[in-house]
Amino acid sequence: MIPAKSTLKYAALRFALLLGGLGWSISFAFTFSSWQTSTDLLYGMGAEHQALLDYWLKMASALFGCIGLLFLACLVKMNKYAVIIPLLAYGSIFIGSVLLFSAYNNSLDAQLHPTHIIDIPFCYIVGILILYGTKKSSK
């Protein structure tokens, strides 16, 4: 359910969709850059060129970018895509949980792998704000 305009819920929903759209679409930087540039953008995490890893990076970054476009499409046409918006929330929370458990299981060090410190809260914030914005009023 899309909340009424000029309400806090509407503002939260728009902010979450914009944040999700921008946050996911930034991945296109990796889709259209060389392996060297991509690894430089990843803060020099020590990746060496491997054809299959380069392929997977392009595949994953293109998919993430498309998810960002879906967020932006929902932002622009909220009423048209209203049934998809809650799925973006649940998907964001699911991905945040996968990243959280993966970071824990792999003992990621914030000094060496700083992106998970941003990625995990990003997913939860986007998901929770969307759920808040689409929650039906109890009137």
Mean pLDDT by 10 residues, the chain (139 residues): 91 97 90 77 61 83 94 97 97 96 87 83 97 84
| Residue 7 near residue 121, CB atoms below 8 Å | no
pLDDT at 46: 54
Side-chain-side CA neighbours of residue 92 (13 Å): 29
Q: What is the pLDDT of residue 48?
A: 64
Cα 51 to Cα 30, 35, 46, 61: the distances in Å are 15, 9, 15, 15
Token pair 């990746």: residue: 47
Helix (H, G, I), strand (E, B) or coil at 49: coil
Task: Write out the two tokens for 12.
Answer: 């939260």
pLDDT value of position 126: 98
